[in-house]
């Protein structure tokens, strides 16, 4: 992607200091989503590495991963698989607990969301510490998916999440990097 487009995308993201706690700068992509041109450019850039290849499903992590993942799945003519917080899916599920900065959480996927060997791309808005994304990869693999890659609009490289995914042999595609937390 050309530098001007990257700059425009970065400028379309709102930074909110001291949210959700002092010292954190929250990267809010709702402003990118509300800008039709920026949203289209971001989705096109997330799709680009997989255009012309076989991707059976795109898995999106609740909630912003649903928005981006749905658009990516549409562009790739793939199905979409939601990965949700525990208790939100109506059919038989497989769940995983994972560590958060202060405690644990759980997420689920329908047990029949993918067929064994399905080629899946994981999508979310941001990769930080990697806890949620690594848990999502494990969940997808448990039900037989081949996780082809994980894609994010934003990487916070100082927090090491992308490196954790690469250590699991998952290629990582990100559009933008921001310093800090």
- Residues catalogued as catalytic: 64, 101
Q: Which residue(s) pair with 133 in the sheet? A: none
Q: What token pair was written down for 148?
A: 């082809």
- The token pair at 153 is 């609009």
14 pairs with which residues across the strands?
28
Concatenating the DSSP letter of every residue in 30-86 gives HHHHTSHHHHHHHHHHHHGGGTTS---EEEEETTHHHHHHHHHHHHHT-EEEEEEET
Q: What is the DSSP letter of 149?
A: E
3-state helix, strand, coil in the chain (%, to 5): 35, 35, 30
Rounded to whole angstroms, how far apart are CA atoms 137 and 139?
5
């Amino acid at each position: 992607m050309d530098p001007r487009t990257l700059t425009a995308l970065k400028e379309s993201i709102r930074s909110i200091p001291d949210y959700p706690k002092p010292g954190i700068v929250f990267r809010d992509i709702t402003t990118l989503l509300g800008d039709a041109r920026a949203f289209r450019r971001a989705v096109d850039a997330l799709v680009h590495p997989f255009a012309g290849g076989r991707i059976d499903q795109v898995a999106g992590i609740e909630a912003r991963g649903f928005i981006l993942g749905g658009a990516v799945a549409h562009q790739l003519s793939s199905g979409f698989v939601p990965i949700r917080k525990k208790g939100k899916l109506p059919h038989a599920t497989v769940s995983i607990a994972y560590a958060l900065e202060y405690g644990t959480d759980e997420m689920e996927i329908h047990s029949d969301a993918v067929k064994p060997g399905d080629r899946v791309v994981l999508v979310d808005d941001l990769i930080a510490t990697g806890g949620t994304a690594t848990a999502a990869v494990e969940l997808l693999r448990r039900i037989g998916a081949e996780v082809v890659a994980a894609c994010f609009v934003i990487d916070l490289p100082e927090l090491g999440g992308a490196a954790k995914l690469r250590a699991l042999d998952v290629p990582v595609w990100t559009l933008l990097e921001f310093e800090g937390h």
